[in-house]
Amino acid sequence: YVSLKTSPPSDFSIHIREVLGGGRFGKVHKCTDTKTGLRLAAKIISSRSAREREMVLNEIEVMNQLNHSNILQLFDAFETKNQVVLVLEYVEGGELFERIVDESCPLTEVDAMVFVKQICEGVHYMHQMYVLHLDLKPENILCVNRSSHQIKIIDFGLARRYKPREKLRISFGTPEFLAPEVVNFDFVSFPTDMWTLGVVTYMLLSGLSPFLGDDDSETLNNVLTVSWYFDEETFEHVSAEAKDFISNLLIKERSGRLSAAQCLKHPWLNNISEKAKGSNIILKSQVLLRKYMARRLWKKNYIAIAAANRFKKIGSSGSLTSLGV
Ligand code: ATP
């Protein structure tokens, strides 16, 4: 194999174990370093085309530049004949939203502050390093474990290095988390990540997805027209500071959104330990997030079944051309 990691050099001998999750091009496995017993994660991507290989190499290049406690660390990367393997720090706490719905006691606003502050710290660092994540959806926020509140931002598969003179346009992502400029195929930049942070914060506090419509076109239309509001009942006990924080992110005009540095200075994310001593309001988000996650799982399974059926059809007709592929 060929090592793709530039610095610092590492010397792992990994034993691949069970699957932790799957994505667009491959699977993430739990693994151990046979020499030290260290638990790691291996993202194994079968690059079928030169373009896919380019995308994986981009992910490695971006991750290679980042080293922050709220960003998943890349330890090593190598390439075999038709696979690229990323050896990553292992985090055992699962998706942040999964943890919230599983927890026996519901989330308080102070818990939400602690989580959002760390996301802001990770985003602030990556923006300082001129990296745009561009896919900061809830699935990409993992918990280090279930006993602490520490989180890590994962999945730099769509991330890009920001080049001031290059006008970057993208066309990917999950409709409900896309910023208006992405939907409009307009230029993306640091504020594009800040919009998604606004969506994630709104969801943490309420369990509702602010732009989600009955179908993708309705969702995209809601994004384009910036049609969102604070559901009165769900946000009844949410602080004015939290609402101000979100209102300063979900703004159509990119330059109007708070930057990550400004978010970290916002009153909502400050004096958290003082606020924790006061009355700690329980959020209504847990029950609604459960519904949201169940719907997401249903959608994922539906897509998987539809794909399997399509595959079966291709198999029975014996040719790919029958579906116009
Ligand atoms: P997607 O197509 O959804 O963007 P992807 O192929 O880019 O996915 P990731 O999002 O990086 O893959 O990982 C897929 C899933 O694997 C994650 O949602 C998470 O549940 C799990 N996972 C990824 N990295 C780790 C890790 N370091 N430790 C533990 N679990 C992980």
Residue 21 alpha carbon to ligand 1 centre in Å: 6
Rounded to the nearest 5 degrees, what angle is found at the Cα of 129, between the Cα atoms of 126 and 130?
Answer: 90
Q: What is the pTM of this model?
A: 0.90
Cα 234 to middle of ligand 1, angstroms: 30
pLDDT at 170: 78
**pLDDT computed for residue 324 by the predictor:** 25
Three-point CA angle 98, 198, 159, nearest 5°: 80
Q: Is 91 in the pocket of ligand 1 (CB under 6 A)?
A: yes
Task: Report the candidate in 231, 68, 57, 262 with the shortest Cα–Cα distance to residue 160.
Answer: 57
Atom of ligand 1 nearest to the CA of 45: 6
Q: Phi-psi region for residue 207, left (φ > 0), alpha (ψ -120 to 50) or beta?
A: left
Q: Confirm if 46 and 26 have CB atoms less than 8 A apart.
A: yes
- Check pocket membership of 235 for ligand 1, CB cut-off 6 A: no
State which amino acid sits at residue 44: I
Q: Note the pLDDT of residue 206.
A: 96
**What tokens appear for 294 in the block?**
């169940």
**What interface predicted TM-score (ipTM) does this complex get?**
0.94
- Annotation says 135 is catalytic: yes
Q: 160: buried, middle or exposed (CB in 10 Å: 19+, 13-18, 0-12)? A: middle
Find residue 12's DSSP bridge partners.
none
Token pair 């690229």 is found at 84
Residue 147 neighbours by CB distance under 10 Å: 8
Ligand 1 close to Cβ of residue 24 (< 6 A) = yes
For the chain, the helix, strand and coil percentages under 3-state DSSP, each to the nearest 5:
45, 15, 40
User: Which of these, 102, 119, 127, 125, lies nearest to 153 by C-alpha position?
Assistant: 119
Pocket of ligand 1 contains residue 59 by CB under 6 Å: no
CA of 22 to the centre of ligand 1 (A): 6
User: Quick one: pLDDT at residue 313?
Assistant: 63
233: exposed, middle or buried (C-beta count within 10 Å: 0-12, 13-18, 19+)? Answer: exposed
Please indicate whether residue 136, judged by its CB atom, sits closer than 6 Å to ligand 1: no
Give the chain's length. 325
| Ligand 1: centre distance to CA 34 (Å) | 22
What are the tokens at 270? 């400050």
Structure token pair of residue 142: 């993992």
3-state secondary structure of 28: strand
From first to last of the 325 residues of the chain, give the pLDDT tens digit: 666 765 656 777 888 999 998 877 789 999 999 989 999 999 999 877 888 888 899 999 999 999 999 999 999 998 888 889 999 999 999 999 999 998 887 899 999 999 999 999 999 999 999 999 999 999 999 999 988 999 999 999 999 999 887 777 777 788 999 999 999 999 999 999 999 999 999 999 999 999 999 999 999 999 999 999 999 999 999 999 999 999 999 999 999 999 999 999 999 999 999 999 987 788 988 999 999 999 888 887 777 677 677 666 655 544 332 222 2
78-109 residues labelled b (16+ CB within 10 A) or e (exposed): bbeeeebbbbbbbbebebbbbbbbeeeebbbb
Supply the pLDDT for residue 196: 98
Q: Which atom of ligand 1 is closest in space to residue 91's alpha carbon?
A: 28
